[in-house]
Amino acid sequence: MKKLLFTFALTIVYFTGVAQTSPLCVNAAQICPAGNMSFPASVDQTAETGPNYDCLGSQPNPSWFYFQIDTPGDLVINMIQVDSTDTGVDIDFICWGPFSSPTTPCTDSISLQSSAVDCSYSTDFMEVLDVY
């Protein structure tokens, strides 16, 4: 059975004074969207040029992830961002896909121009990625 691959970018809003550019998409971490998971926030990063960030009005401190879906169907991922004192911190996201491999969207920027499946740019510290 063919597995579906999605590339997922979180934009964690921590405003800091230093910015650096790195190939974030090509270093995306694989996640398993089941159960509770914790991931560190990115700091002092600048979003790559090229992708269509769709609804994201800004893209400070992006973190890139990808995940595989074995069985087609509805996809719902609840996300919460808090700091070390459990205070909510703004989190935004965009999800692109599906792709044939985890590297396709990073090596072919055209893939990220028209394949967004969900996006949210709000001031909430809780977000829901949902694809139906």
pLDDT tens digits, residue range 30-50? 887 667 778 777 888 888 877
CA distance 124 to 63: 17
Q: What is the pLDDT of residues 77-113, one digit of tens each?
A: 888 998 889 999 999 998 888 887 777 777 766 666 7
The pLDDT value recorded for residue 92 is 92
Query: CB-based contacts of 94: which residues, under 8 Å, 6+ apart?
Result: 8, 9, 11, 53, 54, 55, 56, 116, 118, 119, 120
Domain count along the chain: 1
pTM of the full structure = 0.78
